[in-house]
Amino acid sequence: MPLPNLAKRIKNIKTSSTLAIQEEVLKLKKEGKEIISFTVGQPDFDTPINIKDAAKLALDNGYTKYTAVAGIIELREALSKKLKNKNNLHYSPNNIIVSNGGKQSLMNAIYAIIDNNDEVIIPKPYWLSYTEMIKIAGGISVLIETKAINSYKITADEFEKAITPNTKAIIINSPNNPTGAVYTRDELIKLGEIATKYNLYIISDEVYEYLNYTNEKHCSIASINEDLHRRTITINALSKAYAMTGWRIGYMAANDEIIKAATKIQSQQTSNICSIAQYAAIEALSDRSSSNIDNMVKIFANRRNILLNEIKKINNISYTFPDGAFYLFIDFSKFINKSYKNTILNNASDIAIHLIKDFGVAVIPCTDFGMKNHIRLSYAISENDIIKGIEKINEFTQEIN
Ligand code: PLP
């Protein structure tokens, strides 16, 4: 007899296609194939030594037990200090919860505020997990077209037009994955005015905060005024800034009510994050880290320049200037419906398949980011690989007719 059906909720949930592609790259590499991978969503640096040492010390000290669900007080104090000094955000340690990566912080935020059929506005393109998380919570993603000329940033007008009586929240991601766009303070002020006017929550995903190559300081929308402070859930993580993706340290800062709700959810789901990672996080947040971050940002800025220089050699593509994160978002529309080796290229996924098979270059097709003709390149790879990889993409495009 067949077993009973799985839960209906699981039917429409996609697995993360970026993680699937990265697994495919690892598999091909294991088989001995040489692959240049522009797919990585993480710094290619090791976690700094002082942070690793703090984790070793935590082990030696026997800090191996359950902690408070929201994280040890010393860590939440360090985060409170960081938010004040770096983001001009005033949150007490009691208004902060540490979770398993920015991902769990986002999921907690969504569970805390989204009921069945509540709508969440998401500017397109978007990080692919938002829509799936909202589905899990029973909500509805309302995907809003944005314009390349605005670097795919949603305008206040586009935001306002998308609002219905069911709208509960908007997700703003700056610096942005996949576009690299960074919202200016003025842009955030205008979006904030709409959120206030229609009484909406804002989920502000700031996990790429440090990877900002503009002259303007990163702006946290919750720092703009008191009203935005109370209606914004600020999400951040140590993953990207401290080369700590595997440690799973994310956090949320929000008003009392949301923090209580999110703590309830996390207490029943995972409890605290790994105790050892929490001690490592305190070290990461100390002043001793600033030179590591500065160095990493300089290296990424240099790679971005190299990539922008090389990419100019490829005809018939367009891209928006990436002000942050470590991604370049490229429009391949001019190659869609064209022919390569007698097969028609229907979308960016077709392009990605040929690139990896025939040229050993892995890229992320952005279908699951809401844009089926675009490709995302990550420049969290060596300068040599950037140069070689772009050369191969160029060769490929020249064989398309
Ligand atoms: N938000 C965005 C925009 C991301 O790109 C990612 C990871 O790639 C996350 C959140 C999740 O980060 P973490 O690895 O800390 O869960």
CA nearest neighbour of 41 among 272, 226, 208, 260: 208
Q: Indicate whether residue 206 lines ligand 1 (CB < 6 A).
A: no
Number of Cα atoms under 13 Å in the Cβ half of residue 396 = 24
Give one DSSP letter per residue of 381-400, joined into a string: S-HHHHHHHHHHHHHHHHTB
Cα–Cα distance list, 383 to 2, 34, 299 (Å): 53, 16, 10
110, two tokens: 């969504």
Q: Given this model, what pLDDT does residue 9 score?
A: 85
Q: Indicate whether residue 43 lines ligand 1 (CB < 6 A).
A: no
384: exposed, middle or buried (Cβ count in 10 Å: 0-12, 13-18, 19+)? exposed
Give pLDDT tens digits along the chain (401 positions): 999 999 988 888 887 777 777 777 888 889 998 999 999 888 999 999 999 999 999 999 999 999 999 999 999 999 999 999 999 999 999 999 999 999 999 999 999 999 999 999 999 999 999 999 999 999 999 999 999 999 999 999 999 999 999 999 999 999 999 999 999 999 999 999 999 999 999 999 999 999 999 999 999 999 999 999 999 999 999 999 999 999 999 999 999 999 999 999 999 999 999 999 999 999 999 999 888 899 999 999 999 999 999 999 999 999 999 999 999 999 999 999 999 999 999 999 999 989 998 999 999 999 999 999 999 999 999 999 999 999 999 999 999 99
Q: Indicate whether residue 103 lines ligand 1 (CB < 6 A).
A: yes
Q: Given this model, what pLDDT does residue 205 score?
A: 98
Ligand 1 atom with the shortest distance to the CA of 245? 14
Q: Given this model, what pLDDT does residue 21 score?
A: 76
pTM for this prediction: 0.96
**Burial call 284-318: b when 16+ CB within 10 Å, e when fewer:** bbeeebeebbeebbebbeebbeebeebbeebeebe
Taking the centre of ligand 1 as the mean of its atom positions, its distance from the CA of residue 265, in whole angstroms, is 20
Ligand 1 atom with the shortest distance to the CA of 103? 16
Residue type at position 126: Y
Q: Indicate whether residue 203 lines ligand 1 (CB < 6 A).
A: no
* 279: Cβ contacts below 8 Å, ≥ 6 apart: 54, 55, 57, 58, 63, 72, 75
β-strand partners of 99: 250
Q: Given this model, what pLDDT does residue 194 score?
A: 98
